[in-house]
Amino acid sequence: MKKRLFIQTFGCQMNVHDSEQMAALMGQHGYETVADAADADLILVNTCSIREKAAQKIMSQLGRYRSIKRSRPETIIGVGGCLAQHLGEDLVTRNPHVDLVFGTHNLHRLPEMVIRIEQSGEKVIETSLAPVVPSLGIRVAPRENAISAFVTIMQGCNNYCAYCVVPFLRGPETSRPGEDILNEIKMLVDGGIREVTLLGQNVNSYGHTLSPRTSFPELLRGVGRIDGLERIRFTTSHPKDLSDDLVRCFGEIRSLCEHIHLPAQSGSDRILRAMNRGYTSEEYRNRVKCLREQCPEIAVTSDMIVGFPGETNEDFQRTLDLMETIRFDNLFSFKYSERKGTAAVHFPDPVPETEKAERLETLQARQEGHTLEKNRDLEGRLVEVLVEGRSKNSPDDMSGRTRTNRIVNFTASADTVRKTVPVRIERAFLHSLRGKIEHLGGVC
Residues whose CB falls within 8 Å of the CB of residue 122, separated by 6 or more in sequence, listed in order:
116
* Nearest residue (CB) to ligand SAH, 51 versus 194: 51
Helix (H, G, I), strand (E, B) or coil at 155: strand
- Reference 324, options 286, 369, 273; nearest CA is 369
Q: How far apart are CA 140 and CA 169, in angstroms?
A: 23
For every residue of 25-42, DSSP letters joined together read HHHTTTEEE-S-GGG-SE
Helix (H, G, I), strand (E, B) or coil at 280: coil
**Size, binding site for ligand F3S by CB under 6 A:** 12
**Applying CB under 6 A, which part among 22-30, 154-162, 181-189, 310-318 lies near ligand SF4?**
154-162
**167 touches, from ligand F3S, ligand SAH, ligand SF4, none (C-beta below 5 to 8 Å by class):** ligand SF4
Closest approach of ligand F3S to the CB of residue 167, in Å:
10
Q: Is 272 in the site for ligand SF4 (CB under 6 A)?
A: no
* Residues 65 and 97 sit within 8 Å (Cβ to Cβ): yes
**Applying CB under 6 A, which part among 48-56, 177-185, 273-281, 434-442 lies near ligand F3S?**
48-56
**19 touches, from ligand SAH, ligand SF4, ligand F3S, none (C-beta below 5 to 8 Å by class):** none
Q: Is 167 in the site for ligand SF4 (CB under 6 A)?
A: yes
* Nearest residue (CB) to ligand SF4, 223 versus 344: 344
The residue count of the chain comes to 444
* Nearest residue (CB) to ligand SF4, 82 versus 188: 82
Q: Is 154 in the site for ligand SAH (CB under 6 A)?
A: no
Q: Residues 76 to 115: which contact ligand F3S by CB under 6 A?
A: 81-82
Q: How far apart are CA 134 and CA 109, in angstroms?
A: 9
Closest approach of ligand SAH to the CB of residue 365, in Å:
19
* Residues 128 and 134 sit within 8 Å (Cβ to Cβ): no
**160 touches, from ligand SF4, ligand F3S, ligand SAH, none (C-beta below 5 to 8 Å by class):** ligand SF4
Q: How far apart are CA 342 and CA 166, in angstroms?
A: 10
Q: Which amino acid makes up residue 308?
A: F
The dihedrals phi and psi of 157, each to the nearest 5 degrees, come to -160, 140
Residues whose CB falls within 8 Å of the CB of residue 188, separated by 6 or more in sequence, listed in order:
142, 149, 151, 196
Binding mask 205-244 for ligand SF4 (x = CB under 6 A): ---------------------------------x------
Q: Is 409 in the site for ligand F3S (CB under 6 A)?
A: no
Closest approach of ligand SAH to the CB of residue 173, in Å:
11
Q: How far apart are CA 112 and CA 108, in angstroms?
A: 9
* Residues 443 and 421 sit within 8 Å (Cβ to Cβ): yes
Q: Residues 189 to 208: which contact ligand SF4 by CB under 6 A?
A: 201-202
Q: Which residues bind ligand F3S (CB under 6 A)?
A: 11-12, 14-15, 48-50, 81-82, 166, 169-170
